[in-house]
Amino acid sequence: MTPNLVYVVVIGVLFAAGVSMLLERSLTRILMGMILLGNGVNLLILLGGKAGAPPIVGGAPESEMADPLPQIMILTAIVITLGMTAFLLALAYRSWAMAGHDEVQDDVEDRRIMLLAERDEGSGAEDNS
């Protein structure tokens, strides 16, 4: 199989744009990045199967049909994205309602461990005194 150049370029652009939005702190922006990235991945999966006539028996000879398997996977992915979008939007709203912004804050526990590392201390999980 030879790859389709349009797909390859669009996949690259979707990944780049998605990642650049994903690496920010605003939750709505992260969500949009996820959607773009998801579109890129869906296209990547679609590229793995050949294009052709709709995979409906009787519509076209089987040899001319598009590969149905990537389509099945993508269909599942699209609908799950809907659920995830709803959840993250609710999270963004709640964050805004409670903290006045929808930014993802640093994890407190991770900060504590960083401080321990700077002070060259152990976690004290097993105190060996």
Partner 1 sequence: MLLLLILHAVAALSAPLLVRAGGNRVLYGLALVPAAASAWAFANTGDVKSETYPWVPHLDVDLALRMGPLAWLMLLVVGGIGAVVLAYSSKYFTEGDPNLGRFAGVFLGFAGAMTGLVLSDDLIVLYVFWELTTVFSYLLIGHSPEQAAARRAAMQALVVTTAGGLAMLVGFVMLGEHAGTYKWSEITAGQLPEGGYLATAAVLILAGALSKSAIFPFSFWLPSAMAAPTPASAYLHAASMVKAGVFLIGLLGPAFGDVVAWRWVTVAAGVVTMLLGGWAAMRQHDLKLVLAYGTVSQLGLLTVAFGAGSRTAALAGAALLVSHALFKAALFLVVGVIDHATGTRDLRELSGLGRRMPALAIAATLAVASMAGLPPLAGFVGKEAAFAAFEQEPLILLALVAGSGLTVAYGLRVLWGAFADKPDTARALPTPSGAALVGPPLLLACAGLIPGLFATRLDGVLAPWAAEFGGPAYHLGLWHGFGLPVLLSVVVLGLGLSIFAAARRRDSWPAQRFPAAESVYRRIMGAVDRAAVEVTGFTQRGSLPFSLGMILVVMVVIGTVTLALGAPWPAGIRLWDSPLQLVAGAVVAASALLAARARRRMTAMILVGVGGYGMAVLFILHGAPDLALTQFLVETATIVMFLLVLRRLPAFFSARPLVGSRVVRNVVAVASGLVAAGMAYAAVSGRQAVPISVDFPDLAVSYGGGTNIVNVALVDIRAWDTMGEISVLVVAATGVASLIFRRDDALRGRSTSPSGSLTNGGPGWLRAGDTPEARRQSIILQVVTRLLFHTIVLFSIYLLFSGHNEPGGGFAGGLVAGLALTTRYLAGGKPELNAAAPVDAGLVLGTGLLIAVGSGLAAMIAGGQVLQSALIDLHLPVLGHIHFATSAVFDIGVYLIVVGLVLEILRSLGAELDRRHDAGSASEAATGDDRVKELV
Q: Which residues on neighbouring strands pair with residue 78, listed in sequence order? A: none
Burial (CB < 10 A; 0-12, 13-18, 19+), residue 18, is buried
Give the distance from CA 124 to its chain's centroid.
37
Q: How many positions of this chain bind partner 1 (CB under 8 A)?
A: 104
Residue 99 CB, nearest distance to partner 1 (Å)?
Answer: 11
Q: Is position 93 an interface residue for partner 1 (rule: CB under 8 A)? A: yes
- What the block records as the tokens of 15 is 């990944």
Binders of partner 1 among residues 25 to 84 (CB under 8 A) are 25-26, 28-30, 32-33, 35-36, 39-40, 42-44, 46-49, 51-59, 62, 65-69, 71-76, 78-84
Residue 100 CB, nearest distance to partner 1 (Å)?
Answer: 9
Q: Is position 99 an interface residue for partner 1 (rule: CB under 8 A)? A: no
Residue 59 CB, nearest distance to partner 1 (Å)?
Answer: 8
CA–CA separation, 66 and 18 (whole Å): 28
Taking phi over 0 as left and psi of -120 to 50 as alpha, with beta for the rest, 122 belongs to beta
Residue 90 CB, nearest distance to partner 1 (Å)?
Answer: 4
- What the block records as the tokens of 75 is 């269909």
